[in-house]
A = this chain, B = another copy of it.
Amino acid sequence: MASSTSPSTLEPMVQKLAYRVELDALDREAILALPFQHKVIERSEFIVRERELATHSCLMLSGYSIRSKLTGDGGRQIVAIQMKGEMVDLQNSLLRTADHSVQALTACKVAYIPRQEILRLAAERPTVARAMWIDTLVDASVFREWIMNVGRRDARTRIAHLLCEFSLRLKLAGLGRENGYELPMTQEQLADATGLTPVHVNRSMKTLDAEGLIHRLNPRVIHIGDWRKLAEAGDFDSNYLHLRQGDAALN
């Protein structure tokens, strides 16, 4: 872990918030002036554990992380996937104790920001506060879509939906190639995200492949043959991501 005051490290946070609300120069400066610590998180390492006190928020600079919860009998449910530019753990850090864990899916670079500094920023810059609030509201909207995904869609549709969400979000984050991307998760992790078993995830992806909706060079590299068809198969409508006009039409 290394302290840093590099002026541009928090730029992704400015971008993220400016996407939601118009920020003036003072707002931007205030964000960039936040104290933070650079940190590298290894694959599988926990950033926050359920029931811990979370004292920091963190901004993803690279890599992927997941949020998950455990049932009493050991089942795991992944409730969100985070990527570059996203604020992890505004949720946990503003509340007393974490209600879910955050874990690195791949090696990650993050910027740690003390909870107190986030609160101070919010108090001093109402516009920034509003942007962060809206950001958490969009997170909540994604949660709702996931409830519907696991509650009311069959296996094939759930997987297709997740692949669509991934595709769009990767493009927005500036990752991902033209018609495809590399999945950062194993089939077991996909299963935990969709409420299925690894075996059935495998079967469902095989089906999507056989139907020509996706092509796989290797199990993790997804090529999307026809976005329209995949979106239809996944009952995917990007409305819940609350993107801007142009971005929603990316695919």
Contacts and interface: CB of A to CB of B under 8 A. Distances in A.
A29 B147 CA distance: 37
Given A143-B143, A195-B150, A242 B130 contact: no
Contact of A71 (B77, B96, B152): B152
Contact of A94 (B77, B100, B137, B237): B137
A239 B97 contact: yes
Contacts of A132: 133
Interface in A44-74: 51, 67, 69, 71-73
A24 to B, nearest CB: 13
B152 A147 contact: no
Interface string A131-171: 01110111111011111101111000000000000000000
Interface of A: 51, 67, 69, 71-73, 75-77, 79-80, 90-91, 94-97, 99-100, 119, 122-124, 126-127, 129-130, 132-134, 136-141, 143-148, 150-153, 194-195, 235, 237, 239-240, 242
Residue of A99, A100, A126, A127 most packed against chain B (CB within 10 A): A99
Contacts of A100: 141, 144
Contacts of A237: 72
A99 B133 contact: no
Main secondary structure of the interface of A (DSSP, over half): helix
Given A69-B145, A72-B235, 4 more contacts: A75-B152, A95-B134, A132-B133, A146-B147
A17 to B, nearest CB: 14
Contact of A79 (B94, B119, B147, B153): B147
Nearest to A143: B143
Contacts of A147: 77, 79, 143, 146-147, 150
A239 B101 CA distance: 13
A118 to B, nearest CB: 10
Contacts of A195: 150-152
Contacts of A144: 67, 69, 79-80, 99-100, 143
25 contacts: A69-B144, A69-B148, A71-B153, A72-B235, A72-B237, A73-B235, A75-B152, A77-B151, A79-B147, A94-B133, A94-B134, A95-B138, A95-B242, A99-B141, A99-B239, A99-B242, A122-B129, A122-B130, A123-B126, A126-B126, A129-B129, A132-B133, A136-B136, A136-B137, A140-B143
